[in-house]
Amino acid sequence: MSEEVAPENGTSSKADYKVLLPRSAASFYGSNTSQTDVLDLCESVCRLNRFLKEGKAEVKAGVPGRFLHAVIGQEVADVGSVVSTITYAFFLNEMLEDSKSCTVPIINVKRADLNAHKELMWLLHSCRVEESDLIFIDEVDLSYHDRYGNLRLVLLNGDKLPTKQEAFKEALVEIFNCKQVYFRYSIMKLFLLGQDCSCCTIVAEKFAETSPETLAGMGFSRFLLAGILLDTGNLTDDRCTIKDKYMTTLLIKGAGRYGCSGLHQLLKHKMFDISDLKIKDILRKEFKKWKRVAGTDLSATRMSSIGISVSQLLSHEVSAAQEITNFQQSEKLRLLMVVSGYYDSQKNFKREILVSANTAELMKNFLRFLNTSGSHLPLKELYQPDLPEELRAFEIDNMMTSRKAIERLLEEFGGISN
């Protein structure tokens, strides 16, 4: 049996119409308290929290006389990446029992960026994982440990270190990856799965093989299950594997009263809930960064993806336009494109863009470029009163236009405007 629940106005990409949810999940939205969503503290999460607390204390002390064995992923804070980073570091610590190393997970975003990911904050709270004991990239000086030769890096789910950590490639001792790709480094250890399954699936499999009792804890199983469900679109993504589905059945206890579909819906709802986020946090949720493309420096061009309309974004704060400009300046960008994808009240998918240039002249150049090279993007200007000339909004009159197509257009403009 199901109930229809309408998310709060302006908080979802489908905010203007009702979303069908299982009754157990629907009860979440009607509840005045989140306490019922916090699981009892299980023994597995107790061990995990102790591991996190001790590791952070050691890092604060400078890891005297030991190697810093850091597990790090890409520069994103999605649930799958964060969960797999934390749990794989925990797995290594449990299995290696190496007194010469301090194994810790490092979340490769700034701590302040966590505010933009309500689904992750909810999951940590629900599973009773201590957020305060996590280590974020702005809380540890990797260059210090690299300088003194005691840094050992494990790269999770990638074939290349993020740009900001590229200087530490000599410290790489392991790559843990779920995709068949070309690896750029010669390292001591390599786990190559050759399947496009969730990294959380592989970590869960390792626990199942070595210490299945760890997965018995409801909080721990929910933690990994949430990563798999979001990585695979609730097991419906074309890239979802048999292994993903099998591990989901082993972790299904973590779904609790919601069931897998209900848990997935709750997490997706949280992802699109921007009701108490600031403009800068909304823009930072899905922030596409380039360094170089085909030899061209694109570091001053960025794309941000949002799940609400441009008009909703501009009405989110009294000084929204100025806040967008402030965000652009803080990131030292020449051009920022905000790409909107949402459903209107008639359940029609809409694609809009908001372009912010650092000068009026650059905006003119970009508009000329769109007229000549962007003909495959049927643009219709959106009237937004009181916008400065450096800000322009458009509706893309073709719902089939993908973000990839817009990315390519931005890359092309960046190449000719530098």
Domain-ending residue, one of 238, 270, 302: 270
Domain-ending residue, one of 245, 270, 295: 270
pLDDT at 400: 66
pLDDT at 415: 54
pLDDT at 136: 97
Instruction: Give the span between the Cα atoms of 205 and 193, in whole angstroms.
Output: 12
pLDDT at 339: 93
Query: 166 and 249: one domain?
Result: yes
Structural domain count, the chain: 2
pLDDT at 68: 97
Give me the sign of the Cα torsion angle 225, 229, 235, 237: negative
Q: Is 10 within a domain?
A: no
pLDDT at 326: 95
Q: What is the CATH number of the domain that holds 313?
A: 3.10.310.20
The residue segments making up the domain with residue 181 are: 35-270
pLDDT at 2: 42
**Residue segments in the chain with a per-residue pLDDT below the cut of 50:** 1-34, 194, 292-295
Q: What is the CATH number of the domain that holds 97?
A: 3.90.1640.10
pLDDT at 374: 58
User: Which residue carries 């048999």 as its tokens?
Assistant: 242
| Cβ contact 93:102 at 8 Å | no
Instruction: Give the span between the Cα atoms of 413 and 333, in whole angstroms.
Output: 14
